[in-house]
Amino acid sequence: MSTPDLPLLQIGRAGQGPADAGSGGGCGDACGCGGGGEPYDADPLECGLDPGLAQLLADAGLDPVQVEDIAHLAIEEDLDQGVDVTTVATVPEGAVAIGDFTARESGTVAGLRVAEAVLSVVCMDEFEVDRHVEEGDRVTVGQKLLSVRARARDLLTGERSALNLMCRLSGIATATRAWADVLDGSTAEVRDTRKTTPGLRALEKYAVRCGGGVNHRMSLCDAALIKDNHVIAAGGVAEAFKAVRAEFPDVPIEVEVDTLDQIPPILAEGADLILLDNFTPEQTREAVELVAGRAVLESSGRLTLDNARAYADAGVDYLAVGALTHSSPILDIGLDLRESDQDNLSDQRDHDTADTTEERV
């Protein structure tokens, strides 16, 4: 049974649809789809989240509706149409508590606002949030990241879902920050790939940005990337390039090469970006001299934190690191529950950062 085509929420940028998307991805810059569908006309700020939180997510390049959907999915998966039996049995229904999200190890945080979205889904009554740090901040062991005052049952029910997302995204941000630190002072930037968790791409690429990295294409329609299998199917690199250019004349084209002699014909065709696959730093330097600024260059394969600077110093523009999103370990963050004292909650604020209190009705 077939279903009618439906407008899709854009991945990576709020409030834009296929016909008017910007650079955030999903029918983004020079998308080849032509924007033939009707724009997605729903206001992403009109969702079930607190308006202030929705605006923060939108300002960060995330779609509040998509984040809310992920939050619902996480909670529904955990409850499985039932209740938190342990919490219901042990925690009085009217008990109110404060939960401190606290770093168990040092790193770079991301996903704090996503965790708030999870709590907004599970909390039955008003809740208050004190934000002690900002997304992308470096934190140390024992540092409080977020304090939430709410019904104790709600905090405990949403604890694991909120932590799963926050720990995952903070792990990606921490790993990215390590690469960004190594490249600091060079002209190269670390860039992610599409090797992301299904359904979490926008969040994981957001975490890369929090860690100081930059995003590659968000979706298959943002840009063309001609790899070895495309070359085989088309009958050659030049043939593949010409086919893409003819079909989608306005789409940026990146071409993967694994030898120096493949570069001149690609330059002649007008490639926008060349991906140097498994080149050594020495071969990379030769490629940079050969291209001489006529195309953007990206290194991929053989990259480690130990040799990243050598590739950067060879003159490439980007280092493509798929491991940022597919292999980064989590950053250990925990939730510490304490008795609620309305008068004391504000005393826990970190006065070095701008604090915001959110109330959900």
Name the DSSP letter for residue 348.
Answer: G
Phi first, then psi, for residue 102 (nearest 5°) are: -130, 135
Q: How far apart are CA 111 and CA 318, in angstroms?
A: 25
Q: Report, as residue numbers or ranges, the catalytic residues.
A: 160, 195, 227, 256, 277
First to last CA, the chain: 41
Residue 358 to residues 56, 114, 126: CA-CA distances in angstroms? 12, 14, 9
Three-state secondary structure call for residue 255: strand
Q: How far apart are CA 248 and CA 274, in angstroms?
A: 18
Three-state secondary structure call for residue 6: coil
Our measurement of the distance from residue 99's CA atom to the centroid of its chain's CA atoms, rounded to an integer in Å, reads 26
Length of the chain: 361
Phi first, then psi, for residue 339 (nearest 5°) are: -65, 145
- 173 token code pair: 């941000």
Q: Give me the sign of the Cα torsion angle 267, 273, 278, 280.
A: positive
Is residue 277 within 8 A of residue 245, CB to CB? The reply is no
Residue 7 to residues 14, 38, 200, 242, 251: CA-CA distances in angstroms? 14, 7, 19, 31, 22
